[in-house]
Amino acid sequence: MERQCGGATRRDVTAGRLPQRGAIRDSAARAAYNAKDGACAARPGTLLPDETEQGEPMTERYPDLMTIHPSHHTMPRHARAHAITRTPSDRLSGQYGLADLHTHTHHSDGTGSVEDVLAFAQEHTQLDVLAITDHDTIEGALRARELAAGRYRFEVIIGEEISTREGHMLALFLRAPIPPDLSIERSIELVHAQGGLAIVAHPFNRVFRHSVQRSVMNRLLRQPELHPDGIETLNGSFAGIGSSRIAMGLAHTTYHWAQTGGSDAHTPTAVGCAHTVFLGHTAEELRAAVLARTTSPQGRYWQAREYVSFVSHRMTAGGAATHDATSSERTPVARSRWIATARHERQVV
């Protein structure tokens, strides 16, 4: 049997021990699969391959894994030793919330307006929390918070995807924007000074120049007094293909910060495709879960329609909408423009 979910088709849950790749595998997933108001909601659960890279069955290494298969893409979610124990009753009781911690609007390089993003999240997702994280600005997030107050099911977090010298980093719960072109350490300091959370976005992608690499992550690991709060181990965009699998493995073995998932949506229809599962339903409960390192990633990659829409937008708009560290952008004039914008946003907050 098949059901429609956000324009994609899912097969119903089937019991059994790891059948062929692409099917829903764990019997516990039967309880996790829940059709609500015509939409598909899985709490918690994610995608995984049949085996680890060493050939070991995933269910033997991670016995509490359960899976949902919303698309033809697969990736693992690792059980954390310090995570909250998840029982079938927990899954059915609605104790867990969903948060998309990485989205974009036309205030940076997204194709949709803030209104479009909020409307899609309301009508086509089960999200409890939504973070607007445009590149190097919080203008879109401020607008989203203003529009969402008392009108939507979910809470909005003011966020930013900061262009640090070493790569992109998500900042959540901001009161003022963080400038680009700083070291990742300095960016983390500024985020924490505001009481915000710092999450490394789509790390370990060797071909994406805005991806933080392992040498930088090791550098942060050696600084216990200055480290990120989380690592995005599931990114729904092209930046997460391949690297998400690596990030999940390394987060389990080496970088024991909170694991998060985010759609990296640059089109409204991608919002929520990848997300974070946490105990609770509010933004503050999400914050607490990240700090306690009890979150987990879940979801899928973008579908073809998201790529077509995004590429068409870039071809029409022209140029790179994200902050690119070029010499022209580092001129005094460009820097002055950013400072003026930041002052305006700080006054609004």
* Same domain flag for 46 and 94: no
pLDDT in tens, 23-80: 333 333 333 333 233 233 333 333 433 334 444 443 344 333 333 223 323 333 332 3
The number of domains in the chain is 2
Is the pLDDT assigned to residue 193 strictly greater than 80? yes
Please give the share of the chain, as a percent, with pLDDT higher than 70: 64
Note whether residue 132 is domain-resident. Answer: yes
Residues in Cβ contact with 190 at an 8 Å cutoff, skipping those fewer than 6 apart: 178, 182
Residues 17 and 130 in one domain: no
Q: Is 18's pLDDT higher than 50?
A: no
At 318 the pLDDT is 64
What's the average model confidence in pLDDT over 185-206? Answer: 97
- Nearest residue to 251 via CA among 101, 92, 78: 78
Q: Are residues 311 and 282 in contact, defined by beta-carbon separation less than 8 angstroms?
A: no
Is residue 303 in a domain? yes
Same domain (yes/no): 177, 299: yes
Average pLDDT of the residues of the chain:
74
At 102-134, the pLDDT tens digits run 999 999 989 999 999 999 999 999 999 999 999
* 158 vs 330, higher pLDDT: 158
Average pLDDT, stretch 205-213?
Answer: 93
Single-letter residue type at 145:
R
Q: Are residues 32 and 94 in the same domain?
A: no
**pLDDT digit string, tens, across residues 250-293:** 999 999 999 999 999 999 999 999 999 999 999 999 999 999 99
Same domain (yes/no): 23, 146: no
Are residue 154 and residue 276 in the same domain, yes or no? yes
My answer on whether 255 and 303 are in the same domain is: yes
Res 296 pLDDT > 90 = yes
Domain with 46, as residue range(s), is 2-61
CA distances 216 to 127, 200, 228, Å, are 32, 11, 12
19 and 119 inside one domain: no
Of the candidates 26, 54, 53, which has an alpha carbon nearest to the alpha carbon of residue 42?
26
CB 50 within 8 A of CB 61: no
Contacts of 311 (CB under 8 A, 6+ apart): none
Q: For residues 330 and 38, which has the higher predicted lDDT (pLDDT)?
A: 330
Q: What is the pTM of this model?
A: 0.70
Bigger pLDDT: 304 vs 68: 304
Domain boundary pick from 45, 61, 77: 61
Radius of gyration of the chain (CA): 19
